[in-house]
Amino acid sequence: MTPKQIKYLKSLHRKKNRYAEGVFLVEGYNLVSEAISTRQDIIQVFVTDQFTQTDHGRSIEKQAMTHEIKIFKAKAKAMERVSQNQSSPGVLAALSMGTTNDINTLSTLKGNVLAFDEVSDPGNLGTLVRSAAWFGVDHIVLSKNCVDIYNSKVLKSSMGALFYMKTIVIDDLVGAIERLRSSKRIVLGADMKGDSVSSLKLGKKSWVLVVGSEAHGISDGVSNEIDRSVGVEGKGFIESLNVASAGSVLLSQLCN
């Protein structure tokens, strides 16, 4: 790994540079392995000598060979410099972004959609992306004020689920929801004061579930587009669930 490569890879820690280049980083065996197996557009893979001597290292090399991906060696100190973790896991990949901001793409989506309105916590966003993938929701839409979907903490908490999703980051979430409704979807808003999701009878009707920010919920403009507010009925003494927990329960109920 050359000094020029180190400088470039470190620059991708910043959101504006990621989007200027259309490139983001993933680290660790699980994420890199998932990126290779799902045939992501991988630009470069770097490994340390120490990593190649492990079972995970040999597995990555075998996967890369199968998919004709070239692996570059890097010194441990260089990997530490470009890592976004406290310590480098010894393997890193640079990938082309798979998101789009084309609102016309919404007209081509089939099935259910999870939409994020100004969700700012990377752990919550990543967890919900993972839950959506688990329950078979293939499409996610994010407002421009959400935490970046390519934030390292989002990627880590999503555990590679992003690689299975169609992801759209949109300036006008209200307009996006209007487009999605025009395809005969019902628009549901996650709200702790909403109707119990267990009472909802949708049959085979497709839906959009909108999840709002941790602090303020769904924004006013988007709230006006909600057909029905739904929540999780609790039985204990806790006042509320966090966004990730509540959203995951809602997805479980809606998808089963």
Fold of 103-255: Alpha/beta knot (3.40.1280)
d(CA 101, CA 171): 8
pTM assigned to the model? 0.88
Kindly report the CATH class assigned to 3-96: alpha beta
In the chain, CATH 3.30.1330.30 sits at 3-96
Q: What is the pLDDT of residue 138?
A: 87
Helices (H), 204-242: 220-223
Strands 42-47 and 91-96: antiparallel
pLDDT(216) > 70: yes
Nearest residue to 152 via CA among 84, 235, 70: 84
pLDDT(256) > 90: no
Please state which of the ranges 5-19, 65-79, 242-256 shows the lowest mean pLDDT.
242-256
In the chain, CATH 3.40.1280.10 sits at 103-255
Q: What is the pLDDT of residue 92?
A: 96
CA atoms within 13 A on the CB side of 176: 29
Q: What is the pLDDT of residue 255?
A: 87
CB-based contacts of 131: which residues, under 8 Å, 6+ apart? 244, 247, 248, 251, 252
Torsion over CA: 148, 32, 138, 125 (sign): negative
pLDDT-derived band at 238, boundaries 50, 70, 90: low
List, for residues 28-71, the tens digit of each pLDDT value: 999 999 999 999 999 999 999 999 999 999 999 999 999 999 99
d(CA 169, CA 49): 38
Q: What is the pLDDT of residue 236?
A: 67
pLDDT(240) > 80: no
CB 97 within 8 A of CB 12: no
The 8-class DSSP code of residue 213 comes to B
Strands 71-73 and 166-170: unpaired
Give the 3-state secondary structure of residue 7: helix
pLDDT(246) > 80: yes
List, for residues 156-211, the tens digit of each pLDDT value: 999 889 999 889 998 899 999 998 888 888 999 998 887 788 777 877 888 999 99
Q: What is the mean pLDDT of the chain?
A: 90
CB 225 within 8 A of CB 212: no
Residue with tokens 């602090």: 215
